[in-house]
Amino acid sequence: MEPIRTFGKKDPNNTYIERPAVYAVVFNETNEKVAVVQADCDKYFLPGGGIEGEETHTECLKREAIEELGSEIEIIQYIGFAERYFFSTKEYRDYLSQGYFYLCKLGKKLCEPIEDDHHLVWMEFAEVQKKLFHEHQSWAVKKALEIGRQNGK
């Protein structure tokens, strides 16, 4: 079993809300750019989000892909698990984001994104590493690139 990769710093005096979530790492057809979602707060995230109720990882990713991208999504391979402690300035709460990451392929466009404050942006790898809000998401992109190299892509 791989060790849990933890980012951010846990303050022992704070109470953290655990937020299990599933995220997609999606490369463009030439594997030169990564799909990210820009929120109106000018922060960048991988497509995906919190697991609702009894959703499976697949169900969560499919729902989030429609909400944020308006597209189908196909899971190719599990990348790994990582977590991040952080304070949400939007909600004024401490969170432990528990991220399950998958290498995915974007499918056909179904509709306009349901979340109108989210916009799909294709970024080059170096830019993604600088702009992703969550460190554990940056880790997942690096790991997905390693997987791609091992598979000869």
Query: Which domain, by its residues, includes 59?
Result: 5-148
Confidence (pLDDT) at 33: 95
102 strand-pairing partners: 24, 78
Pairing relation of β-strands 17-26 and 48-50? Answer: antiparallel
Residue 69 is assigned to a structural domain of this protein: yes
Residue 153 is assigned to a structural domain of this protein: no
pTM given for the model: 0.92
Q: What are 127-136's pLDDT values in tens digits?
A: 999 999 999 9
| 152 confidence band (pLDDT: 50, 70, 90) | low
Confidence (pLDDT) at 41: 73
Q: Total structural domains in the chain?
A: 1
Please check the confidence at residue 21 and state whether its pLDDT lies above 90: yes
| CATH classification at residue 74 | 3.90.79.10
Please check the confidence at residue 1 and state whether its pLDDT lies above 70: no
Q: Average pLDDT in the 93-100 region?
A: 97
Residue with tokens 């597209």: 71
Please check the confidence at residue 153 and state whether its pLDDT lies above 60: no
Q: Average pLDDT in the 56-81 region?
A: 95
**Residue 132 C-beta-side C-alpha neighbours within 13 Å:** 25
Residue 119 is assigned to a structural domain of this protein: yes
